[in-house]
Amino acid sequence: MKVSGTLSGFSNSIVDMNVYIDNPLSGFELTAMKTGNGIRHDIFSFSGSEGYIYDQSGRFFGGYKSGVSFDIQAHYNYTDTKITYYFNNKLICNSIDPIVSPKSIDSIEFEKYGNSTLEVNVTGQTKESLSEHATSQIDSRISTETTLATNGSMFVGYTDPNGTLDGGGFGASRSSNFWAKDIDFTAVSVWNNRGFGTPADFRMRGATAITKRHIIMAEHFKLEASDVVYFADPDGNWIARTISAIADHASEDITVAVLNEDLPEDIAFAKILPSDINTFFKISSGSITEKTRPIVVSFNHEKKGNLRYLKAAKSSTDDVLYTNSASDLPDPYDNLEVTLVGGDSSQPLFIIIGGEAVLLASFYTDVNSPSYSAFLSDINTLIASADSAAGVTTNLTLTEFNLDAFSFLTF
């Protein structure tokens, strides 16, 4: 018989478990875990058999008998990803690795026989990490049944235009099956009149709104002055704006354009992570440690919301680094993987925080792009330069996402 209970989601914590086994011949297993939408991450476990007690590595460390309860206390160091445990107040093992790390503990499962009982008391830090939060934003919206074919597309009938500007997927409606339909992605451009290829595909050459008047792109695959770019509002109405002027970064693959008029209020421009973003990730050798990498969302030119691991939000070379293979992602995330192709350049990459899509970069290559968090000041300069080239004064700048409002763990 398995019984389980939910907790508040503890990170750095002390888990005190008082166990009573009514028959020494009956075994038991208790496991601390993090659960998601059809996803389970075991953090540590202890088991008993015929009166002997073992930890998750199979190490024997104590015994139990009928009618006498015993106490196991596990100290979970979320920050350093280590577990120290005690048996009846005696230190048994210091700083072993968790099964999966780092995940906050939100459930205890106890497999028991007969009238055996378990009492659990947990104290500690309930803060979660940004990585864990971002991944949980995905977990809450997908399941093992979510697939790219059924749930990946933002639009219905968003097909190859075959060289016809207003043909194919032009004016496509929003899909009610899109797995992330409750997240506002209206900042993502959906069409333009320049396109790419022969015949031209006008879904290619992406752009993302970063103010109510400005868009950002990859310089090597940019739109130009007088090009028309389209957005879709929450109701699926398509809105056109003409680019008045552009400004290119001197050394990075970044271009900013100013539009001929403001976007409507229901097109929500994207915010950017602050320059100190690395304090919110566990970093090793300039990248987010492998076991703590969050799942993030990107779009390809078909406007399929796909997933990948974020390896760095701001690397030592001021890049965003990410994966580009389904083999890098566990189930069920790999069901929403897209391999990037050449026409996907300039499409956006987002981290989801509190239900909001926060812009990390626009695709430069299939594994790295300039980090907008590293170039906040430069991008604001490009906004002013584009305004000057267009002969307008908008006085607009980027909006930084306020991470402090979430009280995430810092490292």
Among the three residues 105, 126, 147, which one is the final residue of a domain in this structure? 126
| 23 within a domain of the structure (yes/no) | yes
- Say whether both 352 and 249 belong to one domain: yes
Residue 27: per-residue pLDDT: 86
Residue 35: per-residue pLDDT: 80
- Say whether both 246 and 395 belong to one domain: yes
Q: Which domain holds residue 395?
A: 134-406
Among the three residues 126, 144, 164, which one is the final residue of a domain in this structure? 126
Q: What is the mean pLDDT of the chain?
A: 93
| 411 within a domain of the structure (yes/no) | no
Round to whole Å and give the CA distance between 72 and 86. Answer: 6
Residue 220: per-residue pLDDT: 98
Asked if residues 70 and 175 have their Cβ atoms less than 8 Å apart, the reply is no
CB neighbour list of residue 66: distance below 8 Å, 6 or more residues apart: 21, 22, 23, 24
Is residue 1's pLDDT more than 70? no
- Say whether both 121 and 151 belong to one domain: no
**Residue 3: which pLDDT band, with cuts at 50, 70 and 90?**
low
Amino acid at 352: I
- Say whether both 140 and 84 belong to one domain: no
- Say whether both 62 and 194 belong to one domain: no
pTM for this predicted structure? 0.79
- Say whether both 379 and 251 belong to one domain: yes
Q: How does pLDDT run across 337-395, given as a tens digit for each residue?
A: 999 998 999 999 999 999 999 999 999 999 999 999 999 999 999 999 999 999 999 99
Burial annotation 138-157 (CB, 10 A radius, 16+ → b, else e)? bbebbeeebebeebbbbbee
- Say whether both 119 and 138 belong to one domain: no
- Say whether both 122 and 148 belong to one domain: no
Among the three residues 126, 160, 182, which one is the final residue of a domain in this structure? 126
| End-to-end Cα spacing for the chain | 40
* pLDDT top residue among 306 and 115: 306
CB neighbour list of residue 148: distance below 8 Å, 6 or more residues apart: 304, 306, 335, 336, 337, 338
CB neighbour list of residue 384: distance below 8 Å, 6 or more residues apart: none
| 307 within a domain of the structure (yes/no) | yes
| 277 within a domain of the structure (yes/no) | yes
- Say whether both 110 and 161 belong to one domain: no
| 275 within a domain of the structure (yes/no) | yes
Q: How does pLDDT run across 241-262, given as a tens digit for each residue?
A: 999 999 999 999 999 999 999 9
Asked if residues 140 and 37 have their Cβ atoms less than 8 Å apart, the reply is yes
CATH number at residue 86: 2.60.120.200
Q: Per the structure, how many domains does the chain have?
A: 2
Residue 319: per-residue pLDDT: 98
